[in-house]
Amino acid sequence: MWKENLYEPAEILIREHEIFPIEEHQHSFFEMAYIVSGTGMFHTYGKISEKKEIPYSAGTIFLIPPDTVHCFTIHTYSKYVFLRFTDQYVTECIGKYVAHTLFLPEKTPLVVMSDKEAQTARQLISFIADEQANRQNFSVYLQQQWLNSLIALIARSFLADNQTVFPADTKETDKALYLLQYIQQHIHQPQMLRIEALCQKFNLSENYIGRYFKRHFQESLQQYISRNRIKMAESLIKDTQLSMKEIAYRTGYSDACHLTKKFQSYYGISPLKYRKQSVLQKKEQHNSSSDSTLR
């Protein structure tokens, strides 16, 4: 079964389909699915519980935890907003208590809220989607704040009738997921991501760790680290004015030349040209938005 990985802490996707293009699959991250329009059925297969089939319509929100086997069946043409984020993102940006709350099995995948909370959630998702379609200065910062508020709102709704308190020493639920989180957290520290260092950290042998990672995430360990590093570099090139030297330092490349070579190989364009194209694209989107407002 196909398992999808995330190469950045959070990602926003807006999709429209007549037939959903992916069959049963799972992720190594959280995915929040908001139904903008359309109707259909959400199918999920729990590790313990039997198959669930949940009908959806405009306004429905699903929170799909890592490793959950699921798929969508479309009845009428549907538009979705997918908000994807890692457990590590929630832990670092909001807090470990919220991260653990999102794993409450009896509360997912369908998110049930009060009318007031549901209205707030819809507004936050609308803000995020609108900003994604019309990116400007500080778009990334604003989207992160709205996403954090949305995650906290959903976590609070999970606890509304279940005052679960997680002890401070709660262990990670899955060693494989913690391995992903560890890589993301230390992507700027290549020495901590060497095979011998990872084996010592996670008590795995050097001969086994590659097979272990491939079995859980359907790609090689080195391929995942490389993609994670280049995606983080892309985000910094596109959304900041940091120098290539500083970006190389923050993403674990030995120097700016090494970063440029890897980026050119992956994207077919130099980092500086990519940044210029991104700036021009943002200006065109801004001008287009201004023209529409004047009309």
Quote the number of domains for the chain.
2
106 and 183 together in one domain: no
193 and 250 together in one domain: yes
pLDDT digits (tens, 9 = 90+) for 243-293: 999 999 999 999 999 999 999 999 999 999 999 998 888 777 767 655 555
Q: Is 213 helix (H, G, I), strand (E, B) or coil?
A: helix
Cα distance between residue 177 and residue 193, in whole Å: 15
Provide the CATH number for the domain around residue 108. 2.60.120.280
Residue 117 burial (10 A CB sphere; 0-12, 13-18, 19+) = middle
How sure is the predictor about 142, in pLDDT bands with cuts at 50, 70 and 90? very high
The amino acid sitting at 28 is: S
18 and 58 together in one domain: yes
pLDDT digits (tens, 9 = 90+) for 80-108: 999 999 998 998 898 877 888 888 756 66
Answer yes or no: are the C-beta atoms of 193 and 207 closer than 8 Å. Answer: no
Q: What are phi and psi of 188, to 5 degrees?
A: -85, 5
Provide the CATH number for the domain around residue 242. 1.10.10.60
The predicted structure's pLDDT at residue 167: 39
pTM: predicted TM-score of the whole model, two decimal places = 0.67
Helix (H) or strand (E) holding 154, with range, is helix 139-159
Q: Is 75 helix (H, G, I), strand (E, B) or coil?
A: strand
Cα distance between residue 99 and residue 101, in whole Å: 5
CA torsion, ordered 16, 217, 6, 185, to nearest 10 deg: 170
Indicate whether 105 belongs to any domain: yes
Given 129, 159, 189, the domain boundary residue is 159
Polymer length of the chain: 295
The predicted structure's pLDDT at residue 186: 85
In sequence order, the β-bridge partners of residue 64 are: 31
Indicate whether 292 belongs to any domain: no
The whole domain housing 142 covers 3-159
pLDDT digits (tens, 9 = 90+) for 5-30: 998 899 999 999 999 999 999 999 99
Q: What is the mean pLDDT of residues 142-171?
A: 72
193 and 63 together in one domain: no
